Structure 1
Amino acid sequence: MIANEDDAREFVARRCTDQAFLTLNDYVDELRAEAFEQNLVSRSSLDQVWTRHIADSAQLLDHVSHGTRSWADLGSGAGLPGLVIAIMRPDLKVSLIESRRKRFEWLQTVCVNLELRNCQVLGRRLETIEDRHFDVISARAFAPLQKLFALAGRLADESTFWILPKGKSAADELAQLPSEAQKGFHVEQSVSDQNAGILVGYHRALENRV
């Protein structure tokens, strides 16, 4: 379990190149500056930005196949976790889906400033995104599971891996799924918060989708 900001920085540094770590520092600077312009993250969380946001996002890579090539982050907001993933894994094609104009424009600016050629920002509502397939779909505090699957099912097939940080509600939300759908998921303990869980797995209901 990550105990402090130094632990968080070390945790992240072990999982990326030196150049990626420098870029993450630049991203943190961008995030801190923009936090005074719009409510991207709570200002109080910036005192623990590496633990609460950067390592919290980076840990998702520990659960994802090395063969992953495409990743969609729904309701990306401040770029968490999607922008962190794009920085750490330049081999991935990462799509940040964010419909709120001011956040969308800021994400675009950050991608340009950090020269992230593997990252695209889609400034549209999720239901207007054309059908496509992503290897991984992430969503941090985006919507309850049933609504999430209904909205994002068009972006997935039976091989899509879902990785969903859910905080304290992870086990409760999993229990609310139909029993057959529950079998495709399990809860992983977050390393950045002892009270938080991450839902990971495959949505079996998609296997019979017409």
Structure 2
Amino acid sequence: MPLPDRIYCAQQINIPPRLPDVLKNFTKAAIRTQPKDLLQWSAAYFDALSKGEPLPVKDRLEMNVATQKTDTGLTPGLLKILHTQLSLRETCSKEELQIKWQALSLPVDQLKNLLSLGSFSSDIHWMEFFALGCSALGGTLLSSLKFACEILTKDEEGGAARIPFDTFVKLYTYLAHLEGDVPQEHIDNFLQSLEPQVDNQAGMIQVSDFYTSEK
């Protein structure tokens, strides 16, 4: 209903019935996500909401990553947001990634470094970029994979953090090749050593499996 030309009292203002719930959900999302730039994040939130797209919202309030000596910007919660938004297709455009990245107020230089490290063109293979994001969080190959499992798993928080073994193989192989000093024989032997555990878990692998095998 259009507003009258002149408003003389509060009763003339028509408030949509869903507005209180929308604002309540927005407030809860902002508290969980703790965006550095609230206005920029809010614009991205309501834009995604209007389009029925995944919202730039963390599952929960997260503490700083203990392995990060300085604030690198990217966190497991923020990487999970990006994964939820951009993993619907095998690839995404660089422009699309930049928009989602900036909406979370993440450092532009960090994005440039990751894009350069992966030698990406205009089209970005999402799982490869995701793997690089995990490496930025983890520092080492195994800790990067641990973050990958914890972000990708459908298990409840604190559970086994299981993911499909074929996904693990792709992430491990990509990061190992990227390091450049991991022999192919070591990669093959390591993956083969995991197969007995995987067979018992219906094609899934969990964090404890590869940590034990590697050590």
TM-score by length of 2: 0.40
The structure whose RCO (Cα within 8 Å, separation 6+) is larger is 1
Structure having the higher Rg: 2
TM-score by length of 1: 0.40
Decide which structure has greater strand share: 1
